[in-house]
Amino acid sequence: MSAGVYVHCDAAGVARAAAPPETRNPTWVLITTILASGLAFLEGSVFNVGLPAIGESFNASASDLQWAINAYLLPLGALLLLGGAAGDRFGRVRLLVAGTTLFGAASIGCALAATLPWLLIGRTAQGVGAAMLMPNSLAILGSAFAGEARGRAIGIWASMGAVIAAVGPVFGGWLIDVVGWRSIFLINLPPAIGAIVLALMFVRDPRREKNAPPLDLLGGLFATCTLGAITWGLTIGSGHEGWTPTAVLLVSGGIILMLSFLLIEKSKGKIAMMPFALFGSSSFIGLTVLTFLLYGALGALLVLVPYVLIQAAGYSAAAAGAALLPFALVVALASPTMGKLAGKVGVRLPLSIGPLVAAGGFLLALRIGPNADYWEAIFPAVVVIAIGMTGAVAPLTTAVLASVDNQHVGSASGLNSAVARIGGMVAIALLGGVLSASGPALIGAFHLAAIVCALASGAASLSAFLLVAVRA
C-alpha cells in the first residue's frame, strides 16, 4: 500500500502523547521520529513494486504473494494498539529502540532469505517491529512539543513522510531494476541505525505512572489469531482452489475467535486494548466502517496497479513506481487545504463526497490495459483517486479525534490507524484470482477488482453520510 495516506491517518496518534514537553532537544527528537516512522512508510511504499520480481525469484503462487504482503500487515494491524500501551507502561524510548532494532534486523533477514518461508518470517518480524516503533514514535513527537510548535512539528513529520512515500517506489524500483529486489530491504538500515543512535542520545521518556494498567496480552493474542485465521481462509478462498472446506473452516474459526475477542475486550473494561466505550458513538462507528472500506479499496488497487503495469504492460519496476508518484504528491499537497475546509464546513460533507470521487477514479482504472497510454488512462485514474482520498484523509483524522471524549482519544486514533491496515490486509487476501491470472485474464480480473473497489468506496461514502454527525 501507499504510505502517503497512512502519514495523515497516523498523525492522530500524536494525541496519545503526554504534555507538557519534557525535552531539551526537540529538533533531534523530530529527526528521530521522522527516521523511525519513515521505516514503516518506506516499507509500505516500496515493497509492492518488488512483488513481481519476488514472485519470479521464488516461483511463488498467488497466495504466496498475498502472504508476502500480509505477513507484514497482520502483526502491524493486530499489535499496533498493544505497542502503544507497552510504550506507556515500559517506556516509549525503550519500545522505539527495540522496535527499530527488530525492524532493521528483520530487513537484513528478508534481504538474505533463501526461500519464501524465510522471507515471510522476516516480513512478520518487520510487522511486529513496526507495531512497536510507530505508536511510540508519534507519542514521543507529541510529548516533545506543545501548542503551535507541536502543530509545526506534526506538519514537518507528515511532509517528510509524504516525501518518503513519493520517492520510495521510484528509488526502490530503480534498485530492483539495477541491483535486484533484495536491495529494497537494505535501504532500511541507514534510517534504522540513525533512529536508534539519536533516540539513545537525545530522547528522554516522560515520567511514567507507577500504577499503570497491565497490558491486554490476551486481547492481543486473540486479535492476531482472529485476523490470521480470517486472512488465511480468504486467501485460500480467493485463489484457484476456491472455497474448500479448509477455507470455510478457517473463516468460520476466525469469526468465532473474533466473537471471543469481543467478549474478552468487554470484560476488561477500561484496560482493554479496544475499549468498548468507543462504540457508544455512532460517528465513531461510521468512521470505522469508512476507514475499513476506503483503505481496503485503496490497498487493493495500489498493490494491483504496479503489478499489472509490470506483468501485463511491460513496465520496468522504476516506471511502475513512478506511475503512482502523482498519488502521493496530490495527497501531500492538498491535505492541509482539505483539513482547513473541514474545519469550516464540518467533516460529514467531505467524508461523504471524497469516497465518491475516489469511486470515480477506480472506475477510470477500467481504461488501464496492456497498451494503455500513461497520460490518457493511468494518470487520470491515479489523480482522481488521490483527489477523492484527499477529501477524506484529513477530515477523517479530525473526525476521529472529535467523535469520542478526551479519555478515549488515544485509543480511538490508534484503533482507526489499525483498522486502516486491517482493511488493506483483508482486501489483499481477496486478490488471489487477480494475482494468479496472466495475459488478457489478468486485465479482466484487474477490472473486476476496480469495480469492487468503486463499490466499496461508495459504501464508505454512505456510512459517513448516515452515521457521522454533521459537526463531528
Other C-beta atoms lying within 10 Å of the C-beta of residue 11: 25
Residue 423 within any structural domain of the chain: yes
Residue 214 within any structural domain of the chain: no
Locate 291 and state its grid cell: 476507514
Q: CA 204 → CA 18, 26, 62, distances in Å? A: 13, 11, 45
Per-residue pLDDT of the chain (472 residues; tens, 9 = 90+): 566 666 666 666 665 555 455 556 788 999 999 999 888 888 877 888 999 999 999 999 988 999 999 999 999 888 888 888 888 788 889 999 999 999 999 999 999 999 999 999 999 999 999 999 988 888 888 788 777 777 788 778 877 887 887 888 889 899 999 999 999 999 999 999 999 999 999 988 776 656 667 888 888 889 899 999 999 999 998 887 788 999 999 999 999 999 999 998 888 887 787 888 778 788 889 999 999 999 999 999 889 999 999 999 989 999 998 998 899 888 888 877 777 777 777 788 899 999 999 999 999 999 998 988 899 999 999 999 999 998 888 788 778 777 776 666 667 778 888 888 899 899 999 998 888 888 889 999 999 999 999 999 999 999 999 988 765 5
Residue that has been written with the C-alpha cell 462507528 in this structure? 285
Residue 241 within any structural domain of the chain: no
Report the number of distinct structural domains present in the chain.
Answer: 1
pLDDT of residue 4: 62
Locate 92 and state its grid cell: 516509549
Residue that has been written with the C-alpha cell 476496480 in this structure? 450
Residue 216 within any structural domain of the chain: no
Q: What's the maximum distance between 2 C-alpha atoms anywhere in the chain?
A: 64
Locate 390 and state its grid cell: 484527499
Residue 427 within any structural domain of the chain: yes
> Exposed e or buried b for every residue in 324-348, given b needs 16+ CB within 10 A?
bbbbbbbbbebbeebbebbeeebbb
Locate 4 and state its grid cell: 502517503
Residue 264 within any structural domain of the chain: no
pLDDT of residue 14: 64
Residue 430 within any structural domain of the chain: yes
Helices 26-46, 189-202: axis angle to 10 degrees equals: 160
**Long-range contact pairs involving 192-195 (C-beta distance under 8 Å, separation at least 24):** 192/35, 192/39, 192/100, 192/101, 192/103, 192/104, 192/107, 193/104, 194/35, 195/32, 195/35, 195/36, 195/39, 195/96, 195/100, 195/133
| Vertex 273: Cα angle to 267 and 274 (nearest 5) | 75
**Helices vs. strands in the chain: H and E counts, helices first:** 19, 0
Q: Helix/strand/coil (H, E, C) string of 274-338?
A: CCHHHHHCHHHHHHHHHHHHHHHHHHHHHHHHHHHHHHCCCCCHHHHHHHCHHHHHHHHHHHHHH
Q: Rounded CA gap, 425 and 377, in Å?
A: 27
Locate 198 and state its grid cell: 539519536
351: left (phi over 0), alpha (psi -120 to 50) or beta: alpha
Domain at 447, CATH number: 1.20.1250.20
Q: Is the dihedral of CA 461, 447, 77, 18 positive or negative?
A: negative
Judge whether 133 and 92 are in contact, CB under 8 Å. no
- For residue 426, the surrounding DSSP H or E stretch is helix 409-429
Judge whether 322 and 177 are in contact, CB under 8 Å. no
pLDDT of residue 117: 95
> Exposed e or buried b for every residue in 224-262, given b needs 16+ CB within 10 A?
bbbbbbbbbbbbbbbbeeeeeeebeebbebbeebbeebb
Residue 191 within any structural domain of the chain: yes
Locate 319 and state its grid cell: 516506471
State which residues form the domain around 446.
3-205+273-467
pLDDT of residue 460: 95
The percent helix, strand, coil of the chain (3-state, each to 5) is 85, 0, 15
State the alpha helices, DSSP H only, in 113-244.
116-144, 147-178, 183-186, 189-202, 217-238
